[in-house]
Amino acid sequence: MQPLPQLESCLRLAFEARDPRHPSGISLASWFVRAPTRGRRRGELDAALLFPPELRAGLGPAAGAAIALAMDPGSWRSSASPRATIPVATREWLAEAAVALGRSEGFELAWAMLRAISELESAAQRLLGSRTPRSTLRQVLHGVAQRTLRAEPFAAFVIRVLKIAQAAYAAFRHAGLPHDPAWALVQDRLWLPYPTGRSGRSGTQVRGAYLPSLLQAAAANARKRLKRNATERRTKDHARALLARFASGAGAHAWPWIDASGRLLPQGEEVLTPEMAGLCFFALLAHAASERRNRGGPAGGLSPPLGEAGFGSSEWLPDRTDDLAIRLLGASTASGLPRGEMLEAISTLIRGTLSGMPAREGASVLRRLGIELGESDTSRMLERARARLPDLARWLEENGRELLERT
């Protein structure tokens, strides 16, 4: 059992703000309303599961009335005007709801809520495993990527804990218990075995503690995605390996932009680096996604090198193409921050190669990078690039598929 003093303070303040019309106090969860997503209904609390027989027995003869009062929505003072409901639930969303709570019910309670949220996040990290890397914990708690999880597991966990803890605390106080023993019973309830349990391999029922079980249930989706990321070769390490494989292998003959002396443009070096490969792939994929959006899909026609390479297939929908582009860009440098001038240059060269950029513009771009190339040399370089770009696009399409997210 882990102590949760901030949650204790938050529950006490919410209950003791009660009035004759709302004897259970302030319903914290009413400030955390979310719109339904994908047709799933969000389950409400089940009094039979929340208050097992052994817990009811400890409340004495007043148990039935106290529990009924705590489970009655009318006994709580709820948000009169919840913030606009949206399907996304993030840490920022939790903080915004806490601020709205402060404006209505006083900022002492809002600060207590924010401290309780921070405390639950620390507790959740310990429950998920002290030896688990912090980067993995953040992914499990807060989602794998913006467009993959519509509700962060941690937000769902916080709301569920608040509902359960508040209902239990109010019932214990309605039964006549003062704060200290009521909070002790809430802690016991959070660490009792999970009420439903599950069957183990031997057929016996496995019933983990309630609070960790809630967290594991909330984080299950993110954990599955993390495992699938590794299985389907979509981690950053695999993205870096793809860039290194191209730079040391196919890139030597597929790189389109080479001057007369054999220098690779726009970096002006003789050896292709994974960083430059990542910048190129990012710009090319972003261009492919843009063409599909702006031209009304593959039916609108793609640039010949992209269409012939296969970027018109259903696997390369614009959002998924953008997602892969960002992963490759992030994997291209150790710091994750690419050089802006190089990214601008490679993007300009790609657009010029696909659409026929004037030699004067190409020479100007290279000149800003310190590479002096005359207009005639630039024109010949772009002609050679148009002949070689299809090979690069084909290599990216074939090898990038292993990093695409599968749904």
Q: Extract the residue ranges of the chain whose pLDDT is less than 70.
A: 1, 34-44, 82-89, 130-136, 143-151, 193-210, 218-234, 297, 299, 334-338, 369-370, 405-407
> According to the model, what pLDDT value does residue 396 have?
94
Q: For residues 42 and 27, what is the distance between their CA atoms, to the nearest angstrom?
A: 17
My answer on whether 255 and 216 are in the same domain is no
My answer on whether 211 and 273 are in the same domain is no
Alpha carbon 272 to chain centroid, angstroms: 33
Query: Quick check: is 202 in a domain?
Result: no
My answer on whether 159 and 288 are in the same domain is no
Query: Quick check: is 250 in a domain?
Result: yes
Convert the pLDDT of each residue in 109-132 to its tens digit: 999 999 999 998 888 888 777 666
pTM exceeds 0.95, yes or no? no
> According to the model, what pLDDT value does residue 13 have?
96
Yes or no: say if 93 and 155 are a contact pair by the CB < 8 Å rule. Answer: yes
> According to the model, what pLDDT value does residue 336 have?
56
Q: Which of 200, 282, 239, 261 is nearest to 402 (CA)?
A: 239
Q: Which of 341, 288, 340 is nearest to 310 (CA)?
A: 288
> According to the model, what pLDDT value does residue 159 have?
85
> According to the model, what pLDDT value does residue 375 have?
80
- Position 235: which residue type? T
Residue 355 lies in domain: 236-403
> According to the model, what pLDDT value does residue 183 have?
93
> According to the model, what pLDDT value does residue 87 have?
52
> According to the model, what pLDDT value does residue 167 have?
93
The total number of structural domains that make up the chain: 2
Query: Quick check: is 201 in a domain?
Result: no
Q: What is the DSSP string of 190-236?
A: HHSBPSS-EE-TTSPEE--BHHHHHHHHHHHHHHHHHHHHHHTT-SH
My answer on whether 296 and 248 are in the same domain is yes
